[in-house]
């Protein structure tokens, strides 16, 4: 029997899954080598969408293992999905969801006392962030200061996605949602809690793109113990195959999945063009992504489309980045989809290379066209730089430095004042404090931020609401009109980014390292976006106002 037929039969066996669902199995899928699945989707209608975003426990077969994880589902779905279902919206849409938290404690260390279990209860608190959407961060919107405990009443979130009438519509591309409760974010990401948001718009009308089969591909890294649960404990980095250990220790494994599947097969015909939208949702691993023997014609970065396709051999994706590209099937054959070995600065050297999936080129040959022109990307407004700032990134992983200003994830590790946090990460020498305003900026202005990295770790900078462009690397000017919302900083180097704070979105929000264990352990700070015309520049960090 041909391999492909076998794969199909394996798929048929999985078709018996309803019986398993009754036992609480959300997804009896994912023997290595099965076909890449499409994620469930929900689409807005007539400019509006409302659903529930429910986090529920499920059991997921990943490779040869059964994992026990919380997973997102929308209201209309019977079971959770690992990763979460995809939302499809358009610029100008309003969408709303009620977040419901039904997480239960899992991954508890052997021998933990009830007190030790209770002390970590914040690890099941959650909220939701719409990464990259240029929407209000105010309460009830994309507000990452909210927290929802298991069993709390549903928490409503409402978003007005900027439309054409604003003059700066949300660019059409790939965005995403994930939990952002400080101290719990990384663990919930290692549990796979993440989902794609596709904003549809101008680029979808490019004929060659409209004709292409589209795939939304979410890359997750699941950090699991032998019971298939994510350790519910403090964590510390280590060398070796699995990059983190827990405190207390338990054996861990790291599984790099595509759409919740271990090493799935993606099918493509020779000469066929497909459109892949890839989301790097893993909290720590950088993906230096390549598809063996194939050029990636990149058409967008972090949700923002390009003017024309850019052919590249591989794309570096830091945690939180999105890359969208066209891929044209080469000669019939089997090709590796790889996360190439990458030195991101983790203790013990480069993260190992991984084959995360297989491209199988087979079937009838065709010769699909690739586009030469795409769309007109948004432009940086031509106005003077209102302010230049410098932000310094520094981590501390010896375990020997007393607790900083904030009591974040380090408290979750079970430490008290007599002990030392396992790790701490600082912006401008400080760990996160929700009550401090680290930067006051004014909506409608342009600023340059120089991000100085004192570590070898390539901390990826992320800021909420507004994307940015890179204007200098290590002080040398760069001519690049790519928009980003996450950019890795060079080891022991610096990047200068230029931001335009859109005039119609104000409020308090955050910027942080998108290595989520760094964020949870301090590497985040607050930004107050003040209304146009205000003058908050001389306010101290204690003042959460916009005028003196």
In whole angstroms, the minimum distance from the beta carbon of 248 to another protein comes to 5
285 is an interface residue for Cu ion by CB under 5 A:
no
Residue-wise burial string across 196-231, b where 16 or more C-beta atoms lie within 10 A, e elsewhere: bbbbbbbbbebebbeebeebbbbbbbbbbbeebbbb
Interatomic CA distance for residues 532 and 444, integer angstroms: 6
Element (H, E) at 324: strand 322-328
277 is an interface residue for Cu ion by CB under 5 A:
no
Answer for which of 241, 333, 373, 478 binds another protein (CB under 8 A) is 241
Interatomic CA distance for residues 63 and 5, integer angstroms: 19
SS3 428: coil
Mark residues 26-55: x for contact with another protein by CB under 8 A, - for none: --x--x------------------------
Closest CA to 29 of 4, 12, 6: 12
Segment near another protein (CB under 8 A); pick from 142-150, 206-214, 279-287, 399-407: 399-407
515 is an interface residue for Cu ion by CB under 5 A:
yes
Segment near another protein (CB under 8 A); pick from 184-192, 194-202, 246-254, 371-379: 246-254
Report the half-sphere exposure of 92 (CA within 13 A, side-chain side): 10
By a kind-dependent CB cut-off of 5 to 8 A, residue 249 interacts, out of Cu ion, another protein, none, with another protein
Answer for which of 178, 187, 440, 459 binds Cu ion (CB under 5 A) is 459
| 228 within 8 A of 261, measured Cβ to Cβ | no
Answer for which of 167, 293, 311, 349 binds another protein (CB under 8 A) is 349
By a kind-dependent CB cut-off of 5 to 8 A, residue 404 interacts, out of Cu ion, another protein, none, with none
Answer for which of 513, 516, 525, 527 binds Cu ion (CB under 5 A) is 513
The beta strands (E) that lie in 93-142 are given as 94-101, 129-131
Answer for which of 26, 44, 61, 445 binds another protein (CB under 8 A) is 61
The smaller minimum CB distance to Cu ion, of residues 184 and 534, is found at 184
Residue-wise burial string across 438-447, b where 16 or more C-beta atoms lie within 10 A, e elsewhere: bbbbbbbbbb
At 3, phi and psi to the nearest 5?
-55, -40
Interatomic CA distance for residues 113 and 130, integer angstroms: 36
The smaller minimum CB distance to another protein, of residues 28 and 161, is found at 28
By a kind-dependent CB cut-off of 5 to 8 A, residue 35 interacts, out of Cu ion, another protein, none, with none
The beta strands (E) that lie in 144-190 are given as 155-160, 173-178
462 is an interface residue for Cu ion by CB under 5 A:
no
- What's the burial of 298, exposed, middle or buried (CB within 10 Å: 0-12/13-18/19+)? middle
131 is an interface residue for Cu ion by CB under 5 A:
no
> Please, which of residues 129-168 interact with another protein by CB under 8 A?
none
In whole angstroms, the minimum distance from the beta carbon of 500 to another protein comes to 35
> Please, which of residues 483-522 interact with another protein by CB under 8 A?
492
At 341, phi and psi to the nearest 5?
-45, 135
Segment near another protein (CB under 8 A); pick from 248-256, 299-307, 368-376, 482-490: 248-256
Q: Which residues bind Cu ion (CB under 5 A)?
A: 459, 513, 515, 518
């Amino acid at each position: 029997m041909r391999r492909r037929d076998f794969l199909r039969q394996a798929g048929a066996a999985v078709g018996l899954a309803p019986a398993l669902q009754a036992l609480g199995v959300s997804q009896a899928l994912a023997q290595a080598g099965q076909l890449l699945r499409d994620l469930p989707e929900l689409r807005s209608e007539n400019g509006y969408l409302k659903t529930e975003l429910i986090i529920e426990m499920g059991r997921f077969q990943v490779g040869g293992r059964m994992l026990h994880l919380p997973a997102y589902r929308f209201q209309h779905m019977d079971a959770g999905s690992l990763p979460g279902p995809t939302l499809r919206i358009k610029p100008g849409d309003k969408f709303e969801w009620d977040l419901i938290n039904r997480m239960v404690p899992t991954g508890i260390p052997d021998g933990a006392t009830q007190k030790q279990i209770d002390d970590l209860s914040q690890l099941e608190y959650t909220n939701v962030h719409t990464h990259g959407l240029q929407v209000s961060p105010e309460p009830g919107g994309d507000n990452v200061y909210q927290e929802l405990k298991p069993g709390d009443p549903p928490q409503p979130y409402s978003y007005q996605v900027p439309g054409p009438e604003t003059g700066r519509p949300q660019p059409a591309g790939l965005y995403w949602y994930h939990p952002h409760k400080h101290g719990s974010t990384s663990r919930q990401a290692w549990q796979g809690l993440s989902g794609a948001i596709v904003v549809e718009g101008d680029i979808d009308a490019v004929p060659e793109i409209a004709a292409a089969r589209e795939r939304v591909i979410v890359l997750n890294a699941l950090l699991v113990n032998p019971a298939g649960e994510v350790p519910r404990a403090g964590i510390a980095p280590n060398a070796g195959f699995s990059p983190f250990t827990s405190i207390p220790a338990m054996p861990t494994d790291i599984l790099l999945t595509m759409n919740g599947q271990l090493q799935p097969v993606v099918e493509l015909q020779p000469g066929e063009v497909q459109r892949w939208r890839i989301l790097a949702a893993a909290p720590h691993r950088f993906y230096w992504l390549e598809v063996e023997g194939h050029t990636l014609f990149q058409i967008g970065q972090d949700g923002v489309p390009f003017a024309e396709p850019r052919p590249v051999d591989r794309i570096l994706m830091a945690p939180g980045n999105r890359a969208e590209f066209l891929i044209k099937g080469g000669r019939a054959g089997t090709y590796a989809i790889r996360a190439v070995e990458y030195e991101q600065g983790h203790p013990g050297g480069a993260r190992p290379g991984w084959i995360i999936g297989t491209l199988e080129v087979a079937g009838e040959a065709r010769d699909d066209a690739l586009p030469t022109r795409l769309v007109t990307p948004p432009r940086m407004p031509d106005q003077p730089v209102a302010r230049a700032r410098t932000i310094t990134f520094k981590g501390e992983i010896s375990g020997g430095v007393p607790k900083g200003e904030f009591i974040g994830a380090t408290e979750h590790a079970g430490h008290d004042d007599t002990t030392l946090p396992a790790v701490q990460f600082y912006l401008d020498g400080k760990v996160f404090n929700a009550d401090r305003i680290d930067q006051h900026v004014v909506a409608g202005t342009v600023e340059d931020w120089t991000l100085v990295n004192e570590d070898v770790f390539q901390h990826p900078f992320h800021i909420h609401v507004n994307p940015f462009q890179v204007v200098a690397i290590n002080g040398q000017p760069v001519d690049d009109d790519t928009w980003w919302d996450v950019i890795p900083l060079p080891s022991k180097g610096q990047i200068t980014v230029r931001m335009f704070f859109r005039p119609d979105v104000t409020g308090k929000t955050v910027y942080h390292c998108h290595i989520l264990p760094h964020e949870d352990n301090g590497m985040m700070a607050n930004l107050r976006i003040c209304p146009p015309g205000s003058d908050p520049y001389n306010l101290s960090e204690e003042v959460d106002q916009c005028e003196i």
